[in-house]
């Protein structure tokens, strides 16, 4: 049986008191969900406050980004060690918004993956195609490039600390969601690529999450697909009712 993973990316939302309130609700309401792992990705400003709330719970904490250097004159950036010191154990890397708006290239994403591992963090590597790329039939090409570059220099052993998140860019924040069959196709493709890069055992152990307008009413169908190991949730993670409902859907899926 494979344990599913549900992560909430709060993006640039939540002042500290709001983040603390939501974390407290999720801490209480997630009790009894034993077959699903939960990770929260609040903004940097709320990391320490949320870490204190989650300290004695099974909920895990992560940051939404990191710099590839341990320290230095990089105003406005945060290192992996800083994330660890704030209580984080995960970090999102290569999210589509980072790639689109902040210049995160495939090469930089790879540097960040290595930096996260060196800092003792678990990277959640995000990959996905735009609408134009999908319509042009470039799904395999785009995912292959992002994955090969993102995993460059990793061993099968180091990949055990990694998770992937497939996020079709055309389905993020749009209300459009890939059908379960479309999502499964991409996830199976990614697992096959990982098998070629790092071996079949690493591919089978790897958690691959779906991220793209995941909501309570589509979560169970998506996560019921054989190669979908959970969800990276955006907008729905800002509401305790919705996020808990998605987590409950994952908890009810047996693989």
Alpha-helix residue ranges (DSSP H) falling in the chain = 16-29, 47-54, 80-85, 96-101, 106-118, 131-135, 139-150, 180-198, 200-205, 216-223, 240-251
> Who's near 82: CB < 8 A, 6+ residues apart?
66
Sign of the Cα torsion 44, 48, 52, 58 reads positive
Q: What is the pLDDT of residue 178?
A: 84
Is 175 a residue whose pLDDT tops 90?
no
Instruction: Calculate mean pLDDT across residues 20-49.
Output: 96
Confidence of residue 2 (pLDDT cuts 50, 70, 90): low
Local structure of 62: helix, strand or coil: strand
Interatomic CA distance for residues 61 and 228, integer angstroms: 21
Local structure of 47: helix, strand or coil: helix
Active site residues: 95, 167
Q: Which residues pair with residue 166 across a beta bridge? A: 127, 210
Is 1 a residue whose pLDDT tops 70?
no
Domains of the chain, earliest start first? 4-251 (3.20.20.70)
Q: What is the pLDDT of residue 177?
A: 74
Report how far apart, in Å, the C-alpha atoms of 255 and of each of 52, 155, 162 are. Answer: 33, 26, 19
pLDDT tens digit string along 176-212?
778 999 999 999 999 999 999 999 999 999 999 999 8
Considering the chain, what is the average pLDDT of its residues?
95
């Amino acid at each position: 049986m494979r344990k599913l993973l549900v992560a909430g990316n709060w993006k640039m939302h939540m002042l500290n008191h709001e983040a603390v309130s939501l974390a407290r609700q999720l801490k209480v309401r997630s009790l009894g969900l034993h077959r699903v792992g939960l990770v929260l990705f609040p903004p940097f400003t709320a990391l320490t406050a949320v870490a204190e709330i989650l300290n004695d719970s099974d909920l895990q904490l992560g940051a939404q980004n990191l710099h590839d250097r341990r320290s230095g004159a990089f105003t406005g950036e945060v290192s992996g060690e800083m994330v660890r010191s704030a209580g984080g154990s995960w970090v999102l890397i290569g999210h589509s918004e980072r790639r689109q708006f902040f210049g995160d290239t495939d090469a930089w994403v790879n540097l960040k993956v290595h930096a996260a591992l060196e800092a003792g963090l678990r990277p959640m590597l995000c990959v996905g195609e735009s609408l134009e790329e999908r319509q042009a039939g470039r799904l395999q090409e785009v995912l292959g490039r992002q994955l090969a570059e993102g995993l460059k220099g990793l061993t099968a052993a180091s990949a055990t600390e990694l998770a992937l998140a497939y996020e079709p860019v055309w389905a993020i924040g749009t209300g459009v969601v890939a059908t379960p069959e479309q999502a499964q196709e991409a996830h199976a493709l990614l697992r096959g690529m990982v098998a070629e890069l790092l071996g079949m055992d690493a591919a089978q152990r790897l958690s691959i999450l779906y991220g793209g307008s995941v909501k309570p009413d589509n979560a169970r169908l998506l996560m019921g697909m054989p190669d979908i190991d959970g969800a990276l949730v955006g907008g729905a993670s800002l509401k305790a009712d919705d996020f808990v409902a998605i987590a409950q859907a994952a908890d009810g899926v047996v693989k």
